[in-house]
Structure 1
Amino acid sequence: MSSFEIGNALYLVLLLIMVLTWYVAQNRQSLGRVVQQALAWGLIFVGVIAAIGVWDDIRQTLRPTQSVITATGQIEVPRAPDGHYYLTLRINGEPIDFLVDTGASEMVLTAGDADRVGLSLDELVFSGRAMTANGEVRTALARLDSVALGDHRDLDVTAWVNEGEMEQSLLGMAYLRRWSRIEISDNALVLTR
């Protein structure tokens, strides 16, 4: 912390002490009520801090998730607040979250997701190259025993594992082409087999 920041912090602490001293002096006849109000405001402050701390968890709970419409054989995915579409596929029985990326040619797994589905990173051969927004990265071809989305299951699916840093696995056109129809309607991505 710089000396300027320390000076600002001391100024704010002194100002707070002065305001509290004035408030207690003005309300010294009813100190019980002052303590109650201080506790109430303290609890409100703690509640706001707690809500900020768990906001990501709350947002994940409130974020719309994919719906499986089995009668028509469709998967409907609502658009997320950030404007993207996210799908959870079961790869080799393990749920993996994907960002739907129609600009990506292939299904691309992060190294962490590849490890979760049972691909040994030490056994993969990172001989491929891919151009990303962050530059060139090395990739490895992999075979997935099973990829399931809702009731729809595909066997022996090709995917690529990205050796570089990626926030989330990408679901590209190689997998999306397995669906007979891909449609965006009413802020939802609809996949039909």
Structure 2
Amino acid sequence: MSGGDTLQLTYYAVLLVVIGGAMLFELAGRGGRMLRQIVLWIVIFVGVAQAATWWMGGTAPRQQVLEGGRIEIPVGRDGHFHLTAQVNGRDVRFMVDTGASSIALGPADARRIGLDPDDLAYVGTAITANGQVQTAPVTIEEIAIGDIVDRNVPAWVIGADLDGSLLGMSYLRTFARVSFEGDLLILER
């Protein structure tokens, strides 16, 4: 069970205890009306749980890696395409960005995959939507998306707070086909 699943389970347990306790306190000794109110509270609880799941993205469609090196990435709620890859053995969620020339790792993702952003040589610069930032060239040992594995992949670590990481054109060009089918981004080798 992941940390997010544990947090969600804890949230639901606390919510159930609070609502259940309030119901017992409120309904103690009220026989006939109690059944109607229990049903009402169950409906409210299920509605809140569904809204929380939707809000946290739990029911959003996920990428699929199919046979023959085909990856289907559904558009996210924010209108962007997000892909999760194993980078040096760790999950990294990328926003697919055709406007980025290469892979750009945020400092938190760089740390997660074993790079120390404080020990890198920031010798380059990049122009982003938030202005000019310093960049450090790195080589990613391994990127895996399902059965598709690439080794010694050049990338950059951004020397500013970047919320997440970007999967840019230098990596997208390694695919034979990059296309859109409705609300799907298709990558094929």
Q: TM-score, normalised by structure 2?
A: 0.74
Provide the rounded CA distance (Å) in 2 between the counterparts of 1:38 and 1:184: 49
Among candidates 146, 149, 157, match of residue 145 of structure 2: 149
One-letter identity of the residue aligned with 2:177: R
* Paired residue total: 160
- SS of the aligned residue for 1:122 comes to helix
Correspondences of 1:41-52 after superposition (within 5 Å):
41-42=40-41, 44-52=43-51
The structure number with the bigger radius of gyration is 1
One-letter identity of the residue aligned with 1:192: E
- SS of the aligned residue for 1:83 comes to coil
- What is residue 12 of structure 1 aligned with on the other side? none
Deviations 1:123-165 (A, max 9, x none): 1122321111111122211111111122111111111111222
Aligned-pair CA distance for 1:56: 3.0
Correspondences of 1:31-50 after superposition (within 5 Å):
32-34=31-33, 36-38=35-37, 40-42=39-41, 44-50=43-49
The question of whether the paired residues in 1 share the 8 Å contact of 2:117 and 2:159 is answered with no
Among candidates 106, 117, 129, match of residue 121 of structure 1: 117
- What is residue 161 of structure 1 aligned with on the other side? 157
The question of whether the paired residues in 1 share the 8 Å contact of 2:84 and 2:92 is answered with yes
Correspondences of 1:1-193 after superposition (within 5 Å):
32-34=31-33, 36-38=35-37, 40-42=39-41, 44-57=43-56, 59-60=57-58, 62-70=59-67, 72-193=68-189
- SS of the aligned residue for 2:115 comes to coil
- SS of the aligned residue for 1:87 comes to strand
Larger mean Cα displacement after TM superposition, 94-103 or 183-192: 183-192
Unaligned runs of 5+ in 1: 1-30
Q: CA RMSD in A?
A: 2.1
Aligned-pair CA distance for 1:40: 4.8
Provide the rounded CA distance (Å) in 2 between the counterparts of 1:186 and 1:38: 45
Provide the rounded CA distance (Å) in 2 between the counterparts of 1:153 and 1:38: 55
> Per the alignment, do residues 50 and 185 of structure 1 end up closer, same or farther by CA in structure 2, a change over 3 Å counting?
closer
One-letter identity of the residue aligned with 1:186: G
Larger mean Cα displacement after TM superposition, 73-82 or 107-116: 73-82
Provide the rounded CA distance (Å) in 1 between the counterparts of 2:188 and 2:49: 42
> Per the alignment, do residues 190 and 35 of structure 1 end up closer, same or farther by CA in structure 2, a change over 3 Å counting?
closer
One-letter identity of the residue aligned with 1:56: W
Provide the rounded CA distance (Å) in 1 between the counterparts of 2:44 and 2:72: 40
> Per the alignment, do residues 46 and 163 of structure 1 end up closer, same or farther by CA in structure 2, a change over 3 Å counting?
same
Larger mean Cα displacement after TM superposition, 39-48 or 160-169: 39-48
One-letter identity of the residue aligned with 1:113: D
Moved segments of 4+, more than 6 Å: none
Q: TM-score, normalised by structure 1?
A: 0.72
- SS of the aligned residue for 1:114 comes to helix
Unaligned runs of 5+ in 2: 1-29
